[in-house]
Amino acid sequence: MQIVCSIAAMQRLAKKWRRAGTRIGFVPTMGYLHAGHLSLVKSARKAVGNNGKVVVSIYVNPTQFAPTEDLANYPRDLQRDLKLCREAGVDAVFTPKDAEMYAGRAAANYSTYVVEENLSFPMEGITRPTHFRGVTTVVAKLFNLVLPDVSIFGQKDFQQTAVIKRMVADLNFPLKIIIAPTLRETDGLAMSSRNKYLVGDLRHQATVLWSSIQTAQAIVKKMKSVSAAKLKADLKKFIESEPDARLDYIEFFEPDTLSPVSKVSSGAQMALAVSIGKTRLIDNAQL
Amino acid sequence: MQIVCSIAAMQRLAKKWRRAGTRIGFVPTMGYLHAGHLSLVKSARKAVGNNGKVVVSIYVNPTQFAPTEDLANYPRDLQRDLKLCREAGVDAVFTPKDAEMYAGRAAANYSTYVVEENLSFPMEGITRPTHFRGVTTVVAKLFNLVLPDVSIFGQKDFQQTAVIKRMVADLNFPLKIIIAPTLRETDGLAMSSRNKYLVGDLRHQATVLWSSIQTAQAIVKKMKSVSAAKLKADLKKFIESEPDARLDYIEFFEPDTLSPVSKVSSGAQMALAVSIGKTRLIDNAQL
């Protein structure tokens, strides 16, 4: 497995593969890998075949964090990540440095951003108004450096997958996006690097996200169609019955457009963000 | 020469060339070609060689025009353009349609833009605040569709070349930008498709842009260092002595950063925009 630290070396390697007609599958991550990430690696391998190359990027992208967020604390363990990638049959791990990616981020040195101005506005976009601008920018950069034929994203970040698919279509990136299903712990908690923050009783309280999704699924199955406002209010009460849980948002919407629905029925997408203590968690599912 | 109208066909062709190891040189234009454009084609051919492919795009990009500007009137003559491209040895002309490029531009269908937030702010960015956002967006799209190894831009749009070079560096596009010198009519007027608007006496008045550049060059040569404010005031008077000329801006700045200089000396860049009647013209040169 190759470990590539410089952006010039990554692009050179990708161009070499391209010239040889080798297919490239790409999994962008912020590291601290878990089984969810490794399932994306498996999807990438399946997409490019044994003669293709699978690249994983490990980069905690500063532009998608607001100054108040957990950039400095975000969990990191590169040695463990490299071991997991090696075991998963990854061909190259790309670990760029901030200094190269954003040249210090002073506008005099770095000043280009990719913005998506529709799907990025609701939900995460309200609580984290600069988040998706950072995501679309870094993903565009990584696409240009890794030159993938296919790139895999996890369904756990549902709104992110919608924004990325829109960016790829709008800017005509010459690649295919695959969305891979969310992996869950045995009690239903969606796998996330941030679960590491959940110590003591908080870990159990965090299962309230999945429980509320299951509750909504059961209600929709039974009632066929139910008022979104009423369902939100009921689930908010349910969620906040956990002592350290505070609801950020819960939304019901069309999965393709993210347009809110006022009546929730089968096929609607549900997404929610809940803080468990200081840890903000998100989850989603189709009802 | 191939004429490619659909974006899928263009990307397919580019990928085919890429797989074959063929170098691609790209000249993006808004059509109504003149000798300046054809000099860019020559640069592209020189860069990719006789075994490479030269692509010219002809697309009057709506997102770089403000609603008040000359989008509807912008000169078009596709048959003449195709003839000129054929004669110049172009391999493919790409003429996409708005409906495919922007899906109607309703945010529900198209919502991703590339923004440059430093070099695009002064000069053209003041008078045309949404212009460069349209330019960077369409150029990013065209790069992803044509997949060039090298792309050629004309020095006449000096600020545009700075913005594009910054975008390519910041977003890590896997290609090289070449800037080709401005071509001029025998009386010094910089070649531009918009020169077509200059009828009657306006055509002669338009030479005031080049005359004012030459005046500034002579003054700097003689005086070594001169106050930018004083030079601006003097040149404004000079320019507006033409009956139909109105100065939009005239700036003296560092060519790499576009930072204004207060003292103008040899090596400073000068750029100006002047309306001659209803036609807005720009020009620039190093002093």
> How much is the ipTM here?
0.96
Q: Per the CB < 8 Å rule, is A112 touching B108? A: no
Residue B127, H or E segment: helix B124-127
Q: Select from A139, A158, A180 the last residue of a domain.
A: A180
Among partner residues B21, B107, B144, which is closest to A117 by beta-carbon distance? B107
Asked if residue B176 and residue B40 are part of one domain, the reply reads yes
Set of chain B residues whose Cβ sits within 8 Å of the Cβ of A63: none
pLDDT in tens, B166-200: 999 999 999 999 999 999 999 999 999 999 999 99
Asked if residue A139 and residue A232 are part of one domain, the reply reads no
Report, as an integer, the average pLDDT of B146-165: 98
Which residue of the set B34, B37, B131, B204 is catalytic? B37
Among partner residues A110, A116, A147, which is closest to B174 by beta-carbon distance? A147
- Quick check: is A186 in a domain? no
Q: How many CB pairs under 8 A join A and B?
A: 90
Residue A42, H or E segment: helix A35-48
Q: Per the CB < 8 Å rule, is B112 touching A18? A: no
Q: Per the CB < 8 Å rule, is B172 touching A145? A: yes
Domain count, chain A: 2
Q: Per the CB < 8 Å rule, is B118 touching A111? A: yes
Measured between alpha carbons, how far is B172 from A114 in angstroms, rounded to an integer?
13
Asked if residue B159 and residue B116 are part of one domain, the reply reads yes
B281: pLDDT strictly greater than 90: yes
Asked if residue A161 and residue A19 are part of one domain, the reply reads yes
Identify from B94, B98, B111 which residue to disrupt to test chain A contact, counting A C-beta atoms within 10 A and taking the largest count: B111
Measured between alpha carbons, how far is B42 from B28 in angstroms, rounded to an integer?
13
Q: Per the CB < 8 Å rule, is B171 touching A115? A: no
Asked if residue B99 and residue B32 are part of one domain, the reply reads yes
Asked if residue A112 and residue A47 are part of one domain, the reply reads yes
Question: How many angstroms separate the CA of residue A12 from the nearest CA in chain B?
Answer: 9
Q: Select from A135, A158, A180 the last residue of a domain.
A: A180
Asked if residue B258 and residue B198 are part of one domain, the reply reads yes
- Quick check: is B188 in a domain? no
Measured between alpha carbons, how far is B209 from B174 in angstroms, rounded to an integer?
36
Measured between alpha carbons, how far is A149 from A44 in angstroms, rounded to an integer?
10
Measured between alpha carbons, how far is A203 from A194 in angstroms, rounded to an integer?
11
Residue B139, H or E segment: helix B131-146
Set of chain B residues whose Cβ sits within 8 Å of the Cβ of A139: none
pLDDT in tens, B48-77: 999 999 999 999 999 999 999 989 999 999
Asked if residue A92 and residue A69 are part of one domain, the reply reads yes
Measured between alpha carbons, how far is B155 from B284 in angstroms, rounded to an integer?
8
- Quick check: is A216 in a domain? yes
Helices A131-146 & A7-19 angle (0-180, nearest 10)? 50
Provide the pLDDT for residue B108.
Answer: 85
Taking alpha carbons only, the member of A276, A90, A259 closest to residue A198 is A276
Sign of the CA dihedral A27, A167, B17, B134?
Answer: negative
Q: Per the CB < 8 Å rule, is B136 touching A110? A: no
- Quick check: is B187 in a domain? no
Q: How confident is the model at residue B88 (pLDDT cuts 50, 70, 90)?
A: very high
Measured between alpha carbons, how far is A246 from A94 in angstroms, rounded to an integer?
36
Provide φ and ψ at A282, rounded to 5°.
Answer: -125, 155
Q: At A264, is the secondary structure helix, strand, or coil?
A: strand
Q: List chain A residues with pLDDT less than 50.
A: none
Per-residue tokens: B190 = 């910089």
Asked if residue A163 and residue A212 are part of one domain, the reply reads no
Q: How many CB atoms lie within 10 A of CB A224?
A: 11
Asked if residue B207 and residue B117 are part of one domain, the reply reads no
Identify from B112, B137, B138, B176 which residue to disrupt to test chain A contact, counting A C-beta atoms within 10 A and taking the largest count: B112
Taking alpha carbons only, the member of A277, A117, A264, A136 closest to residue A194 is A277
Q: Per the CB < 8 Å rule, is A113 touching B111? A: no
Measured between alpha carbons, how far is B95 from B74 in angstroms, rounded to an integer?
16
Provide the pLDDT for residue A187.
Answer: 97
Asked if residue B112 and residue B197 are part of one domain, the reply reads no
- Quick check: is B186 in a domain? no
Among partner residues B7, B113, B115, which is closest to A172 by beta-carbon distance? B7
Q: Per the CB < 8 Å rule, is B166 touching A112? A: yes
Q: Per the CB < 8 Å rule, is A11 touching B172? A: yes
Instruction: Give the contacts of A104 (CB within 8 A, at least 6 positions apart).
Output: A98, A110
- The pLDDT > 70 percentage for chain B reads 100
- Quick check: is B33 in a domain? yes
Catalytic residue flag (residue B37): yes
Contact call for residues B148 and B55 (beta carbons, < 8 A): yes
Provide the pLDDT for residue B105.
Answer: 76
Q: Per the CB < 8 Å rule, is B171 touching A140? A: yes
Instruction: Give the contacts of A2 (CB within 8 A, at least 6 positions apart).
Output: A13, A91, A92, A93
Expressed as residue numbers, the domain containing B93 is: 2-180
Q: Are strands A24-29 and A53-58 parallel, antiparallel or unpaired?
A: parallel
- Quick check: is A151 in a domain? yes
Name B260's bridge partners: B253
Identify from A16, A109, A112 which residue to disrupt to test chain B contact, counting B C-beta atoms within 10 A and taking the largest count: A112
pLDDT in tens, B204-255: 999 999 999 999 999 999 999 999 999 999 999 999 999 999 999 999 999 9
Measured between alpha carbons, how far is A111 from A121 in angstroms, rounded to an integer?
22
Q: Are strands A176-180 and A92-94 parallel, antiparallel or unpaired?
A: unpaired
Residues in chain B: 287
Could you tell me the CATH number of the domain that includes residue A257? 3.30.1300.10
Find the residue in B nearest to A168 (Cα). Answer: B112
Q: Select from A180, A204, A231 the last residue of a domain.
A: A180
- Quick check: is B110 in a domain? yes
Report, as an integer, the average pLDDT of B35-60: 98
Measured CB to CB, residues of chain B less than 8 Å from chain A are 7, 11, 14-15, 18-19, 21, 107-108, 110-119, 136-137, 140-141, 144-145, 147, 166-167, 170-174, 257
Asked if residue B168 and residue B103 are part of one domain, the reply reads yes
B104: pLDDT strictly greater than 80: no
Measured CB to CB, residues of chain A less than 8 Å from chain B are 7, 11, 14-15, 18-19, 21, 107-108, 110-119, 136-137, 140-141, 144-145, 147, 166-167, 170-174, 257
Question: How many angstroms separate the CA of residue A100 from the nearest CA in chain B?
Answer: 10
Contacts of A63-68 with CB under 8 Å at 24 or more apart are A63/A102, A63/A105, A63/A113, A63/A130, A63/A133, A63/A134, A63/A137, A63/A138, A64/A130, A64/A131, A64/A132, A64/A133, A64/A134, A64/A135, A64/A138, A65/A131, A65/A134, A66/A128, A66/A129, A66/A130, A66/A131
Could you tell me the CATH number of the domain that includes residue A33? 3.40.50.620
